[in-house]
Structure 1
């Protein structure tokens, strides 16, 4: 499922979603969530449907056209809502989506319209989430930083999908302490082989992780960063993303988060 809101980012988001859908032999659902002001009832908004339908139809028609190079069947849907990102979660659950692709700006805007606990909502992801920070996508050279973990697995899957779809060249980055450089190279080589990226360019850097990603990432067309802990999406929508060096990159960034099981204790008392 690709959640659209901005015509300027539509083509990039659809290209990402199309590549992922192809790699999973899946359908592509393009959803336009129209956020209605709280003071306007959904009934009144629906009465003004002609104008809304016209703008939504233009956005979704562009999405269908941009999805044409991919083999995935395409469906479209328009949703009127007061709830913003909650509606994206509900649509993902209702449609049984395997992954959601959305824009960074859309997540930030929609996140200000959450009823209840955003942290709880974002820690119970219905599926994989991919949040793109950029307007254009031309991923000839893709960098995937990794330290292992489920979200890095998702980053690798997306990199493979882009390689298959557009011939992207993939590089992997692992950052370690200076004394651990040899072990880091061994880890990265093993991780690459285990994720179908044994032929990728392997880069091991030492020092601060964020600084290394920022420094190395400038030389690439896209950096795919996997979440290292739960709650990446909630930090994005609150504007408190900790990866300042990543946010400062001129290179487009794709933030990836894969849901992980939570115990009953975690749900009752919070993750520790």
Structure 2
């Protein structure tokens, strides 16, 4: 992700829940510090379709009080990182659509958000959701979990653009927060030697030569679920397009993390995008 001329790339963090705010800002702050960028914390207040935005604005004082408290907490948490932070509140019928618009308007390099399901969705979602999900404005990171106490992370990979994004996030967490990184590659029985060669080359090519390499034979989902319990965070690259479409409908449908109790960070990179050059 290419650096801007003035204050570096923008990491947009979309907040909706005070219980997940600290974890999301921690991720955003680490990414922004690693890239010499800034954090833009947004609180999108989704207004029901039957309520006019002008009518909702009449209750703005109450909305602003709750939003100000959430964004003030974000600014406090972001102070732990060497990054500037800007905050804003948006009233909208469109929920996740406003996050996309904000990402485009501010030329965001990456969006960090929680697994909010329907909390991000306005009532008029079906007509345009699939269309916008096919045209992501930037990289997206979706956290399924409320708390982060990071000392080690696991990155499963079989290659691909979204796994590249997972590696870049892991490298930022290593460099900024000092976490230990492990890489996992799951193979068919008998393919362990080839798997080790692949994973060693992949680690070298993604700046993670110091990571612990784990090659396991077996089912991908079961292996990630079993090994992931020993880590503070599992970073999973989307293996197919449409992660955001599933997220906003409230159905992650990612077999590898279905039964995982450890917090999981799902990464999706738009097809055709160069490897995180906007941020690095």
TM-score by length of 2: 0.90
For the pair 1:218 / 2:229, whether they are aligned, the reply is yes
- Give the deviation of 1:42 after TM superposition: 0.4
How many residues in Structure 1 have an aligned counterpart in Structure 2? 261
For the pair 1:62 / 2:62, whether they are aligned, the reply is no
Q: CA RMSD in A?
A: 1.4
Gaps of 5+ in 2: 1-11, 274-280
SS of corresponding position for 1:137: coil
Equivalent residue number for residue 2 of structure 1: 13
For the pair 1:109 / 2:141, whether they are aligned, the reply is no
Distance 2:150 2:112 in 1: 16
- From the superposition, tell whether residues 207 and 96 of structure 1 become closer, same or farther in structure 2 (CA, over 3 Å): same
- From the superposition, tell whether residues 111 and 244 of structure 1 become closer, same or farther in structure 2 (CA, over 3 Å): farther
For the pair 1:51 / 2:59, whether they are aligned, the reply is no
- From the superposition, tell whether residues 6 and 240 of structure 1 become closer, same or farther in structure 2 (CA, over 3 Å): closer
* Superposed CA offset, 1:219-254 (max 9, x none): 100000001111112122234433234032110000
For the pair 1:178 / 2:189, whether they are aligned, the reply is yes
Distance 1:45 1:112 in 2: 14
Decide whether the 8 Å contact of 1:130 with 1:255 is kept in 2: yes
- From the superposition, tell whether residues 68 and 223 of structure 1 become closer, same or farther in structure 2 (CA, over 3 Å): same
Distance 2:48 2:179 in 1: 41
Decide whether the 8 Å contact of 1:25 with 1:72 is kept in 2: yes
SS of corresponding position for 1:179: coil
- From the superposition, tell whether residues 82 and 224 of structure 1 become closer, same or farther in structure 2 (CA, over 3 Å): same
Q: Which has the higher contact order (CA 8 A, sep 6+)?
A: 2
* Superposed CA offset, 1:14-54 (max 9, x none): 00000111112111000000011111110011111110111
Decide whether the 8 Å contact of 1:112 with 1:238 is kept in 2: no
Distance 1:136 1:241 in 2: 19
Equivalent residue number for residue 25 of structure 1: 36
TM-score by length of 1: 0.93
- Give the deviation of 1:164 after TM superposition: 1.4
Equivalent residue number for residue 259 of structure 2: 248
Decide whether the 8 Å contact of 2:117 with 2:249 is kept in 1: no
SS of corresponding position for 1:22: helix
Q: 1:155 aligns with which of 141, 163, 166?
A: 166
SS of corresponding position for 2:81: coil
* Superposed CA offset, 1:165-213 (max 9, x none): 2110000000010121111100000000011111100000111111111
Decide whether the 8 Å contact of 1:112 with 1:237 is kept in 2: no
